[in-house]
Amino acid sequence: MRIRQCLILFTTCFLLQVGKSQNSVFVSRGKIEFEFKENIFSQMQDFDNDGWKDWVKRNMPQFKISYFDLSFDGNKSLYRPGRENPENDRIWFGRDVASDNVIYSDFDKQQSVSQKHVFEKTFLVHDSVRKIKWKITNETRNIAGFECRRANALIMDSIYVVAFYTDEILTSGGPESFSGLPGMILGVALPHQHVTWFATKLSAEPPKPSDLKIPTKGKTLNNSALKQTLEESLKDWGKYARKYIVDAML
């Protein structure tokens, strides 16, 4: 009788574990919509010397919201502008450098190709995928129906990054050039820059070849050359130069 009870207990535990595994869904291809949000009032507070912030608060929304799509298939992804937000027509302040980035990433080759519009110029940046030293924490958050774990990092020497990733999506990518975690990054916050990227929805439909098309337009250079070009062009812009360079290099 004791042996029979043990066999029943073992079989029950095995079936529960199999059921749990069968209910786990791991996504390897699809498209994620990201909502990019800028806190205009906070950004004005950082840069306003001429009393513009009071006018802005009276005449513009507090947040500028833009949408981007991230298509992915295996270890390749393409991040590009998504649907338009008509409310942004009322906002003249905010991210106007590299606001329509197109970023292709090949995580097998650890290479990326980024098309960025900076003022009147278009740059095509060929470089390696950004290396980020993440520190994974135990904090979790549900984003777009996925349980995500928090990770923190510094980029560009001083930009503090908070990210949330899920291992239920196998591609180790994310919005913009954020990647390098054991799964897909569904949320990013840069607290001192007053901006966030958070996934709103996921479609598991396989992307078309056009959804992963490598960008080809623009002056070809690498990230180091782009930064040098921007520093030279904006050397007389004072503290505003730092914001534009950070925006362009993300």
pLDDT, tens digit, 9 for 90 and up, residues 82-96: 999 988 777 766 667
Q: Rg of the Cα trace of the chain?
A: 22
- Whether residue 13 lies inside any domain: the answer is no
- Whether residue 20 lies inside any domain: the answer is no
- Whether residue 79 lies inside any domain: the answer is yes
Q: How does pLDDT run along the chain (250 residues), one tens digit per residue?
A: 444 444 333 333 333 333 333 446 799 999 999 999 999 888 887 766 566 777 777 888 889 999 999 999 999 999 999 999 988 777 766 667 778 999 999 999 999 999 999 988 999 999 999 999 999 999 999 999 999 999 999 999 999 999 999 999 999 999 999 999 999 999 999 999 999 999 999 999 999 999 999 999 999 999 999 999 999 999 988 877 888 899 999 9
Residue 91 has a pLDDT of 74
Rounded distance, CA 160 to CA 69, Å? Answer: 24
Cα dist from 16 to 94, 173, 216, whole Å:
52, 32, 51
- Whether residue 6 lies inside any domain: the answer is no
How many structural domains compose the chain?
1
- Whether residue 8 lies inside any domain: the answer is no
CATH of the domain at 75: 2.50.20
Q: Which domain holds residue 224?
A: 25-249
- Whether residue 17 lies inside any domain: the answer is no
Neighbour tally for 121: CB within 10 Å:
11
Beta bridge partners of 65: 37
Beta bridge partners of 67: 35
- Whether residue 1 lies inside any domain: the answer is no
pTM of the model as a whole? 0.87
